[in-house]
Structures are given as structure tokens and as C-alpha cells.
Amino acid sequence: MACVAALVVLAAAAGLTLLLHPAPRFTFDGEKATAGTITVSSADISGELGRVKAHDWLGKERPVQCPGIGFAGPGEYALTLTAEDGLGKRTQFALTVVWEAVPEVPAEPEEEPEVPSGGAGGGSSQGGQSSGQVVYEGGIVEPASITPEIISNPSAITAIVNKYHALPEGYAPSDLVAITTNCGKNLQLREEAAASWEQMMEAAKADGITLKAVSAYRTRDYQNGLFTNYTKNNGKEFAALYSAYPRRSEHELGLALDISNTAGIPDNFETTAEGRWLMQNAHRYGWILRYPEDKIKITQYGYEPWHYRYLGKDLAETLYKSGQTYEEYLGVK
């Protein structure tokens, strides 16, 4: 090793074209690899690309370059990712992207909602049978059994989106920009939220805290895929508690961020230095913890210490001080 290093240094000193040092090395999910396969449920692969990393011969992380992809629909796509070290030496990584077709979640509520199995200890009907709502343990309502109100102000920073308030069909924010994620992912937020995230991240850094963004803007199709996968893998009740129905996710607003101290969602994030920092400071930058532990029945979501919503500084400050959820503040479901 020392020999190779010495040769490289000598060659560099002599100004020679350097071919002696090893090319960058790729890892996939942390393991050395030259190829890999990722499975996605929409054309958005940004959340998965962070699994591929490249390091040069000095162990320094190098950017992974991904060509533009002409996704035509579900199917298998071969991509060649490249990484280059500081001296121009390149390596390729063969990535296969499998876009799996997912069954569409029905857009209209089911006419005869399924009653959760068992009955005893499980679901109970809330608000009378006439509402047709299916209610799981803990008062969580099955989203497919709710007819949401379609919001009229989807591009407002203060727009409410939840199980009872949906985005209009086809809405997509017009001012999405790329954000710093600190974990190799390519994510976007609306401009104002993005600027505030960068500020908050810098402030955290000054306190010795590295915040990582692991999920930000999602398209409706991507959200649909997530919800369908949760339902398939964990059941309807779990999906209702932890995943949003398409067009009813704040992530589709481009104003929500899942923040972590790893490249994924950690266990007990609220006990980590990063989680605690956010709970004490996020409101100063316009962000609120959207699904607190003691408000599950109101927000209709399980505790998500990683999920923050941008509402602007004034409103975030107000909510932080009052301890109210956004639903309580607006006086809506």
C-alpha cells in the first residue's frame, strides 16, 4: 500500500497523467459492488439512488453521476452510473431499475367498506353507520372510507392536507428546488421551505448536529406506490396509521420533510441529539412536528418524530407555543 501511495505521489509530483492509482469504488447498500438492482413503484428513483455510493482510493466520497432516464412506464431499465475521482479516473456501476406496476388505490371510497376482522377489540364505528367510515383501534379512520374535502388553495404555504383534506387532481407545486440532504439523496422542496431547511441545517451544524433529509417532495404516483406497498406488506390498519393516501400527503405539497440522523428513518429518533434539537428549534425556522405522540386521534397518524411540516415562521411559532396541532388551530378535522 505504501508503495502504491508513494508511486502516485511521485507521479503527481512529476505532473504525469495518473493511471497508477485505483479507480473509485462503488458500494451498494454499504457493500462493495459493481452492479445492483433497485425496485421502485414510480418513475421517481431519487429516494433509492442514495443506496449507491462511490469512494476514491483515498476513501473520500465522490459524487455518483446518473444519466437522465427515459421511463416509459413499468418495466426494467438498465442505467450506467459513473463516478470520477479528483484525477479524472472513472468507474461505472450497472444499475438495474425495476419499476413495478402497483395496483391503483381506488380513487373513490369503497361503497361497502370492509369491517376490520374480529370486531372485538378491533374496529368500532364512529359517527354512525351512515358515514360509512371504517375505524380501527385507537380511532384511526381508514382513509379509503373517507370522502375528503378538496382544498382550494393547494399552493398556499398554509394549505392543510390530511386524511380529510385532499389536493386537487393533478396538482404539482411549480417552484420545487433541489435541497441539501447530507445523505446522497436527490430531493426537492418548494423554494421557501427549501431556503428555510438550508438555514435550519446550518444552525444545527453550528450546534454540532448533522440533520439529514430522507424524504421530501413526492409525486402523487410515488405516494400511491408507497401506500399500496404499506397496505400489501403491513396491512390496511398499519397503512392507515403510518402512510397517507395519495393526494392526502403533505409530501405532495413540497412542504414536508422527513428528517433523520441516518440515511433512513431511525428507531426512537426523538431520543437522539438530532431529534431533540429539532423538537426544540424547528419552529424557529417555520417547521412543526406534525404528528405528535399525544395527538394521534386528532392528526389521524401515529407518532412520527421525523416528519416536519413547513408553515412559515409566524404560524409555526404560534402552534409551538399553543401546543396545538394544525387541525386544532384551524378547527377542522
Would you say 99 or 291 has its CB closer to Zn ion?
A: 291
Sequence-distant (≥ 6) Cβ neighbours of residue 163 within 8 angstroms: 141, 143, 146, 148, 244, 245, 248, 300, 333
CB of 241 to Zn ion, least distance (A): 13
Beta strands in 202-261, from DSSP E residues, in sequence order? 212-215, 256-260
Cα four-point dihedral sign 247, 250, 254, 259: negative
* 149-150/165-166 β-pairing: parallel
The stretch among 34-42, 70-78, 131-139, 305-313 that binds Zn ion (CB under 5 A) is 305-313
Per CB under 5 A, which of residues 87..116 are in contact with Zn ion? none
And the C-alpha cell for 73?
412506464
CB of 216 to Zn ion, least distance (A): 9
CB 150 within 8 A of CB 168: yes
CB 6 within 8 A of CB 20: no
Per CB under 5 A, which of residues 115..154 are in contact with Zn ion? none
The stretch among 52-60, 165-173, 201-209, 299-307 that binds Zn ion (CB under 5 A) is 299-307
Q: Cell numbers 426537492 correspond to what residue?
A: 188
CB of 215 to Zn ion, least distance (A): 6
CB of 40 to Zn ion, least distance (A): 18
The stretch among 78-86, 119-127, 254-262, 295-303 that binds Zn ion (CB under 5 A) is 254-262
The stretch among 131-139, 250-258, 277-285, 316-324 that binds Zn ion (CB under 5 A) is 250-258
Q: Is 252 in the site for Zn ion (CB under 5 A)?
A: no
Q: Which of 307, 308, 316, 325: binder of Zn ion (CB under 5 A)?
A: 307
Q: How many CA atoms lie within 13 A of 256 on its CB side?
A: 23
List 150's β-bridge partners, or say none. 166
CB of 295 to Zn ion, least distance (A): 16
Q: Which of 44, 252, 258, 274: binder of Zn ion (CB under 5 A)?
A: 258
DSSP tag of 65: B
CB of 318 to Zn ion, least distance (A): 22
Give the span between the Cα atoms of 289 and 268, in whole angstroms.
15
Interface residues with Zn ion (CB under 5 A)?
A: 258, 307
